[in-house]
């Protein structure tokens, strides 16, 4: 179990580095899908299945919308891939920084217990993540509504900021 968690964490870090080093929205979105899958797998192993489900639905749904808008705004005929020299150089710099940070901080990362979420209470009648979801929708309903409107407003603000003088794909025909 610990090996699979370490593999998912390694995939999550490498996917994050791919997203950070890639200037093209096409391959950056592919890296974000990979990172969301790795993060969801980590959450699933630790026993929070509902949170994993919500992460994948919300994050990948939001990424689909953002990917469609950025693809429409930045129509790049020849996007840079991971194989191009500039992206590969930045990728190697990020990997080396991550490797140095791992060597420097290794003593604080060694886990002794390795407890997972399901190992503590095997005979319980309910799960902690489901109780938290019920509480979030009962008491925090207004907060969810305000956060949804704020996300919608921020989407329109970002679209207005990146539109620029040539109007991109939203220009009048």
Mean per-residue pLDDT, 143-150: 82
Share of the chain above pLDDT 90, in %: 2
Indicate whether 59 belongs to any domain: yes
pLDDT of residue 97: 92
Indicate whether 172 belongs to any domain: no
Indicate whether 90 belongs to any domain: yes
- Our count of domains for the chain comes to 1
Indicate whether 66 belongs to any domain: yes
Across 64-73, 114-123, 136-145, the highest mean pLDDT is recorded for 136-145
Answer yes or no: is pLDDT of 88 > 50: yes
Q: Which letter, b or e, does each residue of 5-22 get, where b requires 16 or more Cβ atoms within 10 Å of its Cβ? A: beebeebbbbbbbbbebb
Answer yes or no: is pLDDT of 173 > 50: no
Indicate whether 36 belongs to any domain: yes
Mean per-residue pLDDT, 64-85: 72
Per residue in 31-40, pLDDT tens?
888 888 898 8
Full residue range of the structural domain in which residue 13 is found: 2-110
Average pLDDT across the chain, whole number: 75
Run of H or E including 56: helix 49-73
pLDDT of residue 169: 53
Contact 47, 31 (CB under 8 A): no
Indicate whether 82 belongs to any domain: yes
Indicate whether 38 belongs to any domain: yes
CA distance 39 to 9: 8
CB atoms within 10 A of CB 91: 17
pLDDT of residue 154: 77
Per residue in 15-61, pLDDT tens?
888 888 877 777 777 788 888 889 888 888 877 777 788 778 877 77
Indicate whether 141 belongs to any domain: no
**pTM over the 0.95 mark:** no
């Amino acid at each position: 179990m610990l090996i699979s968690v370490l593999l998912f964490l390694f995939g999550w870090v490498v996917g994050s580095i791919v997203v950070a080093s890639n200037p093209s929205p096409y391959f950056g979105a592919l890296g974000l899908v990979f990172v969301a899958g790795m993060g969801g797998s980590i959450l699933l192993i630790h026993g929070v299945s509902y949170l994993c489900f919500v992460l994948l639905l919300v994050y990948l749904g939001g990424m689909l919308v953002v990917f469609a808008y950025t693809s429409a705004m930045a129509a790049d005929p020849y996007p840079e891939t991971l194989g191009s020299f500039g992206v590969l150089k930045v990728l190697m710099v990020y990997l080396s920084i991550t490797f140095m940070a791992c060597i420097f901080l290794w003593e604080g990362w060694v886990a002794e217990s390795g407890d997972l979420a399901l190992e503590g209470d095997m005979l319980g009648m309910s799960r902690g993540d489901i109780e938290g979801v019920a509480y979030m929708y009962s008491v925090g309903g207004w907060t969810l509504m305000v956060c949804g409107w704020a996300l919608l407003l921020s989407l329109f603000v970002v679209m207005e900021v990146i539109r620029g003088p040539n109007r991109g794909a939203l220009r009048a025909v």
